[in-house]
Structure 1
Amino acid sequence: MSEIKRRLVTWFQRSIANPVLVRMPGRTVLETSGRKSGQKRRTPIGGRRVGDDFWLVSEYGEKSQYVRNIKADPRVRVRIKGRWRTGIAYLMPEDDAKARLRGLPVVNSAGVRMLGTNLLTIRVELTNHTAGGRATS
């Protein structure tokens, strides 16, 4: 994918798709702290909980804003089925991201494979059952 295409997809996701998707009650959302502003940043994601871990694959690897935020502060929250869980995110460059996608939700994984330029697996070690109760946005 060319740099121009990546920028167009990123603009569409950030400006149009993500603001709608993060408000959908059943949508899985990753919350990070902005590395410069410290403000909470929410990104709709696809992934799967396996035991006390939540697995996802970033389509742009370390170019993704949420990955940059994780590198600055790995403490995150994940909204799974309407409930927030706190956790610590780990970048897993040694993991086979393409193989990992085969075990994650099909529709999201297809989009990540199609648009992705530098796949990177992320594991979130969930540290509690809920954080902040039921999510509203």
Structure 2
Amino acid sequence: MAAVRERVRSIVVDVGERVLRTPALVRLPNLAYRHGFGMVFGSRMLMLEHTGRRSGLRREVVLEVIGHPEVDRYVVVSGFGERAQWYRNVVADPRVRVTVGRRSGVPGTARVLGRDEAARTLAGYIERHRRAWRWLGPVVERTLGRSLDPAEPPPPMVEFRLEGTAGPGASG
């Protein structure tokens, strides 16, 4: 039974990595947001609008929220590390717009989390989502190209602090 479970896990990791490396599949959630259906993801996902560091063009990406410490703060992890284009873009220009829950195109500022803060955030996520992490952890390790050993630096994480005060529908 353990061998079957391990084989299934291996297949899931392979498929997960292929999905994350297939641009057309990764961009599918963008369509949901563009057509006003992003709210179905609640506050578990957000659409980030950022500026291309070279092109100056508006870019969009949908990311999983791994931390939501306050009503106007969302934390995401860069599953491709510092190689991720969205990550490189928000480091170059931290001014962003975020669509999450019922909130659409809210201006905000990106901030890269320090190592200790990122490690605590990841540990909290793993604690809250143990079962999912058993499947997702190996996929993230594969896309990062390294182990997520607690003794090693965590993957890069970014906090988006939205502007304005919490109003109707702000809870996502």
Q: Decide: shared fold, TM above 0.5.
A: yes
Closer/same/farther in 2, CA of residues 19 and 72 from structure 1, 3 Å limit? same
- Does the CA contact (< 8 Å) of 1:59 and 1:112 recur in 2? no
Q: Please give the alpha-carbon distance, in whole angstroms, between the structure 1 residues aligned to 2:51 and 2:83.
A: 16
Count matched residues. Answer: 124
- Does the CA contact (< 8 Å) of 1:75 and 1:88 recur in 2? yes
Which structure shows the higher helix fraction?
Answer: 2
Q: Please give the alpha-carbon distance, in whole angstroms, between the structure 1 residues aligned to 2:101 and 2:30.
A: 12
User: TM-score of the superposition, structure 2-length normalised?
Assistant: 0.59
Which shifted more, 59-68 or 120-129? 120-129
User: TM-score of the superposition, structure 1-length normalised?
Assistant: 0.72
* Greater RCO structure (CA 8 Å; 6+ sep): 1
Q: CA deviation at 1:8?
A: 5.5
The runs of at least 4 aligned residues of structure 1 exceeding 2 Å deviation read: 7-11, 100-116
User: Aligned letter for 1:50?
Assistant: P
1:56-108 deviation per Cα after TM superposition (whole angstroms, max 9, x unaligned): 11112211110000111001111101422211101114120531433777898
The match for 1:19 is 27
Match of 1:102, SS state, is helix
Match of 2:27, SS state, is helix
Which shifted more, 108-117 or 64-73? 108-117
Closer/same/farther in 2, CA of residues 22 and 62 from structure 1, 3 Å limit? same
Larger Rg: 2
Which shifted more, 89-98 or 35-44? 89-98
- Does the CA contact (< 8 Å) of 1:88 and 1:124 recur in 2? yes
Match of 2:48, SS state, is strand
Closer/same/farther in 2, CA of residues 98 and 92 from structure 1, 3 Å limit? same
The match for 1:87 is 108
Which structure shows the higher strand fraction?
Answer: 1
Unaligned runs of 5+ in 2: 1-13, 147-154, 167-172
User: Aligned letter for 1:18?
Assistant: V
User: Aligned letter for 1:49?
Assistant: H
Match of 1:59, SS state, is coil
The match for 1:68 is 88
User: Aligned letter for 2:26?
Assistant: N
Unaligned runs of 5+ in 1: 131-137
